[in-house]
Structure 1
Amino acid sequence: MSSPTFEITKAATFDAAHHLPAGGPVGSPYTRLHGHSFRVEATVRGEAQPPVGWVADLAELESALRAIAGELDHGLLNEKPGLESPTLERLCLYFADRLGPAFPGLCRIVVSRPTINESCALVLDRGNGEA
């Protein structure tokens, strides 16, 4: 029998403003500056590791996730390198790029805007944490 595989998930929230850059849909309200409340979830997959018997330290995952969300909180997303066009897809990549090195089992990032029922999921290669 093979060892069981587990998935652990932590979430964080942040509020930020953004707009789609010029060249987006003509006449779209998305090109005007506006803001959202965001929720981001990070999932790490793997076997329970000795000596503790966990996939990863949930407190470390939470701390890393909150630190990244804190960098974005109450800011203009367009000003962050890599988020010049701050779509949900790019936000997923932003979090994955920053969490991946510390959490090689990172397998999924979900960024959502709960108040408007929108979300995007990035599923990562299980083996190395890269898309």
Structure 2
Amino acid sequence: MFEVAARMHFDAAHRLRGYAGKCERLHGHRFQVEAVIAAEELGPDGLAFDFVALKRLLGRIVGELDHSYLNDLPPFREENASSENIARFIYRCLAPDLPAPVRLSAVTVWESPECWARYTE
């Protein structure tokens, strides 16, 4: 099994509704996102998946989140814009755009250098 990954970041504000702590108040992060692609075999070009293509696909999704108030975006109006939910949102947006036979293995979202959440299916 081969895995390739790309990372990007975006800046956004959010608040965690119903959370008993300082994160219930409006605050922001420089979120970092990593998407990991898995492939059983390499293509004829010797690549599992092209980094340029992965960054383009991931960039379209991350671009929608960049410099936004996440709670105002449709996926986070009803559920909290937690790192866990952001990772799931990005995963479910990115996975259908990948051509067979590659598949999305995981999406990880860091809200700080020490704290991250990962989503897989």
Report if TM-score (shorter chain) is over 0.5: yes
Q: In the alignment, which residue of structure 2 is the partner of 1:63?
A: 56
Q: Check if 1:12 corresponds to 2:8.
A: yes
Q: In the alignment, which residue of structure 2 is the partner of 1:128?
A: none
Would you say the 8 A contact 1:10–1:41 is kept in 2?
yes
Q: In the alignment, which residue of structure 1 is the partner of 2:110?
A: 112
- Give distance in 1, aligned partners of 2:22 and 2:43: 52
Would you say the 8 A contact 1:47–1:54 is kept in 2?
no
Runs of 5+ in structure 1 lacking a partner? 124-130
Alignment length, in residue pairs?
116
Higher relative contact order (CA 8 A, sep 6+): 2
Q: Please, what TM-score do these two structures have when normalized by structure 2?
A: 0.88
- Give distance in 2, aligned partners of 1:118 and 1:88: 9
Q: Give the number of the structure whose alpha-carbon radius of gyration is greater.
A: 1
Structure richer in helix, relative to its length: 2
Q: Check if 1:43 corresponds to 2:36.
A: yes
Q: Which letter does structure 1 place at the counterpart of 2:39?
A: G
Q: CA RMSD in A?
A: 1.4
Would you say the 8 A contact 2:29–2:112 is kept in 1?
no
- Give distance in 2, aligned partners of 1:114 and 1:35: 10
Q: Please, what TM-score do these two structures have when normalized by structure 1?
A: 0.81
User: Structure 1 vs Structure 2: percent identity of aligned residues?
Assistant: 33
- Give distance in 1, aligned partners of 2:105 and 2:10: 21
Runs of 5+ in structure 2 lacking a partner? none
Q: What do the CA deviations read for 1:15-70 (whole angstroms, capped 9, x no partner)?
A: 0000012xx134x2112111011000000001334321222221111011112111
Would you say the 8 A contact 1:108–1:122 is kept in 2?
yes
